[in-house]
């Protein structure tokens, strides 16, 4: 089946926050290829704010991947519900067993996408992921393999809603003014091997605060101890916004920054979606594959020389951590000052 022939399309994707943001160019290209189709997206409900208000999606279907739906019978019942929808086309973007199962048994007339061998008999078209491309382009390439010739899109995007702006306003009231220049710090990451040392973040924050910038630390609840480790040794004052925002309000907050200094993480991609300049610190993951996507305001900092320990596959545990530990505060500050001199800064 051609994408342009489908009247109802289901896209299945159950990955993490940053990964979900990276499929937004795919969704835009899909919408432009099939402007009259009804497009539904199956996703993890934790990240609903990423897609609420996205004009490329007509319907969001959500499962609790880590909670109530984290068992076979729940997934089976959900697949039966999908089958009643009568989708013309299902495009699976995530070749995990759970996501592939839901795609395989979605009841669509035509099912396509990457999938493990176990579910291939239920797919009409098995598509191979080209992992030599940036992740966003890798997902777009699925459309190319399905015959879509135009892949025009607007980059990463998250629609910030009025309620998200109000949530950010409420937190910052009395803490910052419209004239403040704000530099944010996101010092956490889902993988410990992607994290720079808290004391070095503190040193960079102190240097920037001494030059008149307001300093704000972001992050989720699990990262609060890291933020406290950094701010407790700072000489200058910092605002701790850790665990204070929903995903949508975080996008609203990051949009207000002059610049964000961040590890490779979901919030990094949120900042890019809001066109907020960033300095991104990279160690085990590869910027060419998972870095800031097509954004002039991004600077990437890596150790010099590069550690090749994760050249074949990124490590989630490492006794060395040289790739992150060898990053210096001078490198990060140089990249920060260089980015701050960019257009409009």
> pLDDT: is 284 or 211 the higher one?
211
Report residue 259's pLDDT band, with 50, 70 and 90 as the boundaries.
very high
pLDDT > 70 in the chain, percent: 94
pLDDT at 342: 64
- With a threshold of 0.85, does the pTM exceed it? yes
As a whole number, mean pLDDT of residues 176-201 equals 93
Share of the chain above pLDDT 90, in %: 85
Q: Quote the pLDDT of residue 345.
A: 46
Mean pLDDT, the chain, as a whole number?
Answer: 93
**Cα 320 → chain centroid:** 27
- CA dist 279 and 301 (Å) reads 7
The pLDDT tens digits for 233-253 are 999 999 999 999 999 999 999
Task: Give per-residue pLDDT as tens, 78-110.
Answer: 999 999 999 999 999 999 999 999 999 999 999
Give the model's pLDDT for residue 321.
Answer: 66
DSSP 263-292: ESSHHHHHHHHTT--EEEE-SSS-HHHHS-
Burial 194-213 (b: 16+ CB within 10 A, else e): bbbbbebbbbbbbbbbeeeb
- Chain-centroid distance, C-alpha 306: 24
Inter-residue contact 315 to 193 (CB < 8 Å): yes
Question: What class is the 162-340 domain?
Answer: alpha beta
The third-level CATH classification (topology) of the domain covering 3-145 is Rossmann fold (3.40.50)
* Domain 3-145 matches domain 162-340 at the CATH topology level: yes
Q: Is the pLDDT of residue 18 over 60?
A: yes
Strands 110-113 and 214-217: unpaired
> How far is 323 from 194, CA to CA, in rounded Å?
9
Residue 319, pLDDT > 80, answer: no
164 φ, ψ (degrees, to nearest 5): -70, -40
Sequence ranges of the domains in the chain: 3-145, 162-340
**Mean pLDDT, range 183-194, rounded to an integer:** 92
């Amino acid at each position: 089946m051609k994408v342009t022939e489908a009247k109802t399309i289901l896209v299945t994707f159950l990955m993490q926050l940053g990964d979900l943001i990276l499929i937004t160019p795919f969704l835009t290209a899909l919408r432009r290829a099939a402007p009259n189709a009804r497009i539904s997206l199956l996703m993890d409900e934790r990240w609903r704010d990423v897609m609420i208000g996205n004009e490329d999606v007509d319907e969001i279907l959500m499962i609790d991947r880590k909670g109530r739906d984290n068992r076979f019978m729940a997934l089976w019942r959900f697949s039966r519900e999908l089958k009643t929808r009568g989708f013309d086309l299902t495009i699976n973007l995530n070749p995990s067993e759970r996501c592939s199962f839901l795609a395989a048994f979605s009841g669509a007339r035509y099912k396509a996408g990457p999938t493990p061998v176990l579910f291939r008999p239920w797919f009409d078209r098995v598509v191979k992921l080209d992992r030599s491309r940036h992740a966003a382009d890798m997902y777009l390439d699925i459309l190319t393999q399905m015959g879509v010739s135009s892949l025009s899109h607007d980059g990463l995007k998250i629609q910030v809603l009025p309620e998200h702006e109000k949530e950010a306003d409420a937190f910052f009231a009395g803490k910052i003014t419209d004239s403040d220049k704000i530099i944010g710090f996101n010092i956490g990451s889902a993988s410990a091997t992607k994290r720079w040392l808290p004391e070095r973040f503190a040193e960079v924050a102190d240097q920037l605060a001494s030059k008149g910038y307001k300093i704000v630390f972001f992050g989720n609840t699990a990262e609060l101890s890291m933020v406290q480790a950094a701010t407790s040794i700072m000489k200058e004052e910092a605002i701790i916004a850790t665990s204070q925002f929903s995903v949508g309000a975080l996008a609203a907050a990051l949009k207000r920054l002059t610049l964000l200094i961040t590890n490779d993480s979901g919030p990094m991609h949120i900042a890019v979606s809001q066109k907020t300049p960033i300095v991104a610190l990279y160690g085990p993951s590869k910027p060419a594959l998972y870095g800031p996507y097509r954004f002039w305001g991004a600077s990437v900092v890596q150790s010099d020389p590069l550690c090749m320990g994760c050249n074949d596959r990124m490590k989630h545990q490492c006794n060395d951590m040289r790739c992150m530990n060898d990053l210096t505060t001078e490198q990060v500050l140089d990249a920060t000052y260089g980015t701050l001199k960019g257009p409009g800064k």
